[in-house]
Amino acid sequence: MHIRQNFSLKEYNTFGIDVSAKHFSNFGSIEELEEALQYRKEVSANSPCPLLILGGGSNVLFTKDFDGIVLKNELSGIELVNEDAENYYIKASAGEKWHNHVEYCISNNYSGLENLSLIPGNVGASPMQNIGAYGVEIKDVFFELEAYNIQDKIIQTFSLDDCQFGYRESVFKNKFKGQFVILNVTYKLKKNPVFNTSYGAINTELERMGVKDLNIRNISNAVINIRTSKLPNPKEIGNAGSFFKNPKVSKFRWHVIWEQFPDVVAYKVDEMNYKLAAGWLIEQCGWKGFRKGDAGCHSKQSLVLVNYGNAKGEDIINLADEIIYSVENKFGVKLEKEVNIV
């Protein structure tokens, strides 16, 4: 284990925000994690030392230097740990890149993750955020995970129910925030694929691709094509993907909005609730393509806030707050940030 001081995090967050960590280290084993946590305990004797576990840095916005210790999770490995008549059980270490994991599963004909292709970040963030795209969420394919209890220094197993998954939510973002380090995740993937192509433009893209025989590889390629056409590459333009959650509103509230804006993009959640497309709401308020200094709203997808080069975290936050205010003022709906603010 090597602890570095005043370490730049610019290359470790997809927004490309230039901040530093007072202490920084990475860990590729439980032993290295425990060493780093012991170091934190020792420096905390003199003054508080906040802890941040960093994965791919794809869902975080830094607003200032981090006056504590940042530990980058580099645990690696993917393996088939069990199977039954209908399912494969695939365990992936938390430090694995998410899309590499998806590619591994598709290559081995493990079905269930293809709609989640090309999502940035690491495996460890997938249950924390309950990531989702094109009609699939992690809770749909999740079996269990192992996490290190920082206080008790033990490894605990969490089932589907234990994780309390919600829309981009889990117990690790709420009740147990900052108390565990996710080590690995086991996914329950199907032997006989059930294709999910009804969401978004997947069917249209499959037709454009000339696909005749549907399989998980074709669906993955269609999702990749759609994402690359709409979303900026963080290596070219700093961003964290979708900055806001799609807001859920009551059926009555949706109807009020629909009467005034009949082309509103919305999805029925159940008999009493609808989910509105945050990107559509933002675009109707004139933010699509907006830029102020190096902070902006992407020209192809208004749900994505971007750093064109030297924006500070505060610049992105200020823009986000202006967008939230304008959407609430026009539609009576308050957007919620999906990105973690540090």
Active-site residue set: 168, 242, 338
The label of the residue with tokens 């975080």 reads: 60
Residue 22 forms beta bridges with which residues? none
Cβ atoms of residues 86 and 188 within 8 Å: no
User: d(Cα 123, Cα 243) in Å, to the nearest integer?
Assistant: 19
Helix (H) or strand (E) holding 162: helix 160-163
Number of H helices, E strands in the chain: 9, 20
User: d(Cα 61, Cα 76) in Å, to the nearest integer?
Assistant: 25
User: d(Cα 297, Cα 246) in Å, to the nearest integer?
Assistant: 16
Q: What angle do CA 4, 7, 10 make, to 5 degrees?
A: 145
**Structure tokens of 293?**
């200094």
Please name the amino acid found at residue 322: E
CA-to-CA separations, 2 to 8, 42, 91, 182, in angstroms, rounded: 15, 15, 28, 21
Write phi, then psi, for 196 (nearest 5 degrees).
Answer: -120, 95
Smallest Cα–Cα separation from 121: which of 11, 8, 14?
14
